[in-house]
Amino acid sequence: MKNKLIQGDLVLWGILALLAIFSFFPVFSASSNLSYVVGNGTPWQHLFKHMFILVMGFVIMIGIHRIPFQYFKGISILLLPVVVILLIYTVSQGNTIGGANASRWIRIPFVGIGFQTSTLASLVLMMYVAHYLDKTKAAQLRFSETLLPLWTPVGIVLALILPANLSTAVIVFVMVLLLCFLGAYPFKHLLLIVGMALAAFLLFVLAAKAFPEAMPNRIDTWMSRIENFTAPEEGSSGNYQVERAKIAIATGGLTGLGVGKSVMKNFLPQSSSDFIYAIIVEEFGAAGGVVIILLYLLILFRIMVIAHKATTVYGKLLVMGVGLPVIVQAFINMGVALNVFPVTGQTLPMISSGGTAAWMTCIAFGVILSISVAQSEAEEKEINEDNPLAVLSETI
């Protein structure tokens, strides 16, 4: 088994490959918006870039899943200060680079691909929290004993993500709370942390209002998105996106208009990334949209199976810590297109075009598959111990 290129949960591998291959169709179709409306490249250029990113993502996934999952304990400790430095560097760039919002991104030299540092930071943070909960008996610790080793790194990372990416900060915070709950961290302490977080967020909002030049338009953007969701106003940008997405979904009907025949892709901003689910439903219909939902639910099921079979507490926490945020992100993305959630800017994992967000998703699944590999090897060892003749026959 060790000589196989792909190991672990083959069902999960298959679903991820299916999503990646399927993504070529909506990305190629929706990228015409960037090509003909915005004037940015051709659909073929966007498709080949997307294919390159996904192929590299699977190469990364293959490499990661061959690393024994226990090594991620030390890796998370080593990378945590690195991601903090990257986040500080990202924030220090200012608000724009070449006229575009640069408060979330850094540019990878020579490759020309934007790197959203918050995606790496959130992944590393979840790995670190899983390691901390495993190495300590959190239920037996006083709250003060966890402030420095656990909540200080969490607070620093979230504080650096929050100003430019509220939705990601909220998702990561909720996922950390859920992971701590699963790791037997005292519930009363979690309530205290939630209270402290709300107080800190309120102070941040007041400071941003008092000094608007420090973070121009961020609070106004958040408020605008919430107001557009609860009481939409005609002509607002957020409402424009949601209305076009709803038109695309309604136009698709049950079976869709057909591959590449979307009309709203020419009018819907971010049609190849944030609102790609609307284009999928328009072209593949409600049936296609339901299939995509079922695939993500099947991924969730495989994550739960791998977590259940994990032989160590760390393995269980690590699977849940890096896997659940991907599923939550997927359903938030689809919920935005369906007008269930406010506009957040979350992409659809393994489908949306973009840059390194897909690589972070592949790293997360590589970690999950690494744990699955350990399970398979443990089961194989147990079978061989029960049946020594099987080992002899394989040797012959």
Please give, one letter per residue, the 3-state secondary structure of 175-217: HHHHHHHHCCCCHHHHHHHHHHHHHHHHHHHHHHHHCCCCCCC
Residue 79 placed within a domain:
yes
Assigned domain for 50 exists = no
Asked whether residue 1 is assigned to any structural domain, the reply reads: no
The CA–CA distances, whole Å, from 52 to 29, 64, 338 equal 17, 18, 30
Task: Indicate whether 166 belongs to any domain.
Answer: yes
- CA-wise closest residue to 277 among 9, 43, 99, 264: 264
Q: What is the pLDDT along the chain (396 residues), one digit of tens a residue?
A: 455 888 889 999 999 999 999 999 999 988 877 666 555 677 788 889 899 999 999 999 999 999 999 999 999 999 999 999 999 988 887 554 444 444 567 776 655 566 788 999 999 999 999 999 998 877 778 899 999 999 999 999 999 998 888 889 999 999 999 999 999 899 999 999 999 999 999 998 888 777 766 665 566 666 666 766 666 665 555 578 888 889 999 999 999 999 988 888 888 877 888 899 999 999 999 999 999 999 999 999 999 999 999 989 999 999 999 999 999 999 999 999 998 888 887 899 999 987 778 999 999 999 999 999 998 887 777 777 666 555 445 445
Instruction: Evaluate whether residue 55 is within a structural domain.
Output: no
Whether 296 is covered by a domain: the verdict is yes
* Residue whose C-alpha is closest to residue 129's, from 144, 149, 143, 114: 149
Containing domain of residue 199, as a range? 71-360
pTM recorded for the entire structure: 0.89
Q: How many domains does the chain have?
A: 1
Q: Are 299 and 349 in contact (CB under 8 A)?
A: no
